[in-house]
């Protein structure tokens, strides 16, 4: 673990101590169905009731070894399935499992490239994946607004549902002014908060697969070190933007944690969620801010319509101020699988470079990726 950088070291200490609490895994499936079934989730619940009766049994692999590709009998513990809502969380599982990926665990994200989690609704196939999961990792803090009820039912059915947002320290949770105390769910934008999520995921994996716990601890510790480096890099790159230009205007309020951590004023056309037109702020008021502060660029997002941001550009033009679209930021989704932007670190790197360049700051050649690759040289 590297020791410089502004991030707290507390997580690393906790990691090394590595106290693993046991958790209750095996609840009778029937208990889930005793709850009140309402409205739109009824069909999905009926479906997973059928699947659960078919799969019939506890989700603890050590008690009930069954092969992921079929019955493996006494050939040892089967590969356990992790299902995540966002691709960010699936990336975390891949990084922490490392060489035990496909041995201890596999992972699948329900939300792919360009998918908006605020409006995401489960398909029957998604629900089936969730019912078969040994571990369900969720961002929480109401990011997955349309899934809350089904996730609660799954938890009541004995599925291990972990909402990472609930594992943050209270001071890590950001509740912006005017949100009525509602927490901002976009905590991955702060690498120090993401580090806390990494530690929580490591603990979950180690509990479910004690054979791999040594690997998971080492990998999580390495990744948390990498997050320290990212935190230091982000502070450096964003501070290269002239102070009066440190204004980040986007489609919706996904960058509050970034703004709090690195001193950017962050304004979204929509509020914390994208699911309601009622959250749309006064375009004229934002245009006023852009014109007055001579903001050089605004940003669209890969998972949200660009309509409102384009209205800002037009509004500013009508007032005689040219504001560019500085790029498409990865707000709530990662880039394409298999690309650098399809990883958490790559997504952050891309966003930092795009923001800094468009607002007049400087970005080191090769960005964060070059430094990351250099640290990997033997
Ligand atoms: Zn969002």
272 C-alpha vs ligand 1 centroid, how far in Å? 6
The predicted structure's pLDDT at residue 75: 64
According to DSSP, the residues that pair with 83 across neighbouring strands are 108, 136
For residues 109 and 192, state if they share a domain: yes
Supply the range of the domain harboring residue 158: 60-228
Does residue 50 fall inside a structural domain? Answer: no
The predicted structure's pLDDT at residue 180: 86
Lowest-pLDDT choice from 69-73, 75-79, 197-201, 314-318: 69-73
Mean pLDDT of the residues in the chain: 84
82 C-alpha vs ligand 1 centroid, how far in Å? 23
Per residue in 30-89, pLDDT (tens digit) is: 333 333 334 444 445 544 454 444 343 333 333 333 333 344 445 667 899 999 999 999
Radius of gyration of the chain (CA): 22
Per residue in 130-159, pLDDT (tens digit) is: 999 999 999 999 999 999 999 999 999 999
In this predicted structure, the answer to whether residue 221 has a pLDDT above a threshold of 60 is: yes
pLDDT above 90: percentage of residues in the chain = 72
Structure tokens at 87: 């691709």
The predicted structure's pLDDT at residue 11: 37
Q: How many domains does the chain have?
A: 2
Does residue 18 fall inside a structural domain? Answer: no
303 C-alpha vs ligand 1 centroid, how far in Å? 9
252 C-alpha vs ligand 1 centroid, how far in Å? 7
In this predicted structure, the answer to whether residue 3 has a pLDDT above a threshold of 60 is: no
100 C-alpha vs ligand 1 centroid, how far in Å? 32
For residues 205 and 345, state if they share a domain: no
In this predicted structure, the answer to whether residue 225 has a pLDDT above a threshold of 70 is: yes
The predicted structure's pLDDT at residue 15: 34
Does residue 44 fall inside a structural domain? Answer: no
pTM of the model: 0.81
For residues 124 and 198, state if they share a domain: yes
For residues 332 and 277, state if they share a domain: yes
In this predicted structure, the answer to whether residue 316 has a pLDDT above a threshold of 60 is: yes
CATH assignment of the domain containing 352 = 3.40.50.1980
Q: How many CA atoms are closer than 13 Å to the CA of 128, on its beta-carbon side?
A: 6
For residues 218 and 128, state if they share a domain: yes
**C-alpha 242: how far from its chain's center?**
29
For residues 248 and 112, state if they share a domain: no
Of the residues 171, 198, 228, the one at which a domain ends: 228
The Cα 78–Cα 49 span in angstroms is 24
For residues 212 and 130, state if they share a domain: yes
Q: Residue 118 phi/psi, 5° resolution?
A: -65, -30
For residues 129 and 210, state if they share a domain: yes
């Amino acid at each position: 673990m590297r020791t410089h950088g502004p991030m707290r070291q507390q997580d690393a200490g906790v990691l090394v101590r590595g106290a693993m609490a046991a958790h209750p895994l095996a609840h009778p499936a029937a208990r889930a169905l005793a709850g009140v079934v309402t409205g739109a989730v009824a069909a999905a619940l009926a479906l997973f009731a059928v699947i659960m009766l078919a799969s019939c049994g506890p989700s603890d692999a050590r008690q009930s070894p069954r092969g992921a590709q079929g019955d493996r009998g006494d050939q040892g513990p089967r590969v356990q399935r992790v299902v995540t809502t966002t691709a960010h969380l699936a990336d975390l599982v891949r990084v922490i499992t490392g060489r035990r990926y496909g041995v201890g665990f596999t992972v699948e994200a329900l939300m792919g490239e360009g998918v908006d989690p605020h409006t995401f609704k489960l398909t029957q196939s998604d629900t089936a994946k969730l019912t078969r999961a040994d571990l369900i990792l969720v961002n929480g803090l109401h990011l997955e607004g349309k899934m809350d009820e089904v996730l609660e039912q799954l938890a009541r059915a004995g599925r291990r549902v972990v909402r990472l947002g609930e594992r943050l320290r209270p001071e890590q949770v950001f509740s912006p002014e005017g949100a009525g105390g509602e927490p901002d769910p976009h905590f991955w934008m702060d690498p120090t908060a993401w580090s806390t999520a990494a530690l929580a995921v490591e603990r979950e994996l180690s509990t479910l697969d004690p054979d791999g716990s040594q690997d998971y601890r080492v990998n999580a510790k390495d990744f948390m070190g990498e997050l320290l480096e990212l935190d230091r890099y982000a502070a450096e790159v964003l501070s290269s933007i002239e102070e009066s230009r440190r204004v980040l205007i986007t489609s919706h309020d996904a960058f509050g944690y970034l703004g709090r951590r690195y001193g950017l004023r962050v304004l979204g056309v929509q509020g914390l969620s994208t699911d309601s037109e009622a959250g749309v702020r006064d375009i004229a008021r934002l245009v006023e801010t852009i014109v007055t502060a001579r903001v050089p660029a605004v940003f669209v997002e890969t998972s949200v319509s660009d309509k409102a941001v384009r209205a800002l550009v037009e509004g500013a033009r009508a007032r005689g101020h040219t504001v560019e679209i500085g790029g498409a930021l990865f707000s709530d989704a990662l880039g394409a699988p298999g690309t650098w932007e399809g990883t958490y670190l790559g997504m952050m790197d891309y966003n930092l470079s795009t923001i800094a360049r468009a607002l007049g700051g400087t970005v080191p050649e090769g960005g964060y990726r070059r430094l990351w690759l250099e640290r990997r040289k033997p």
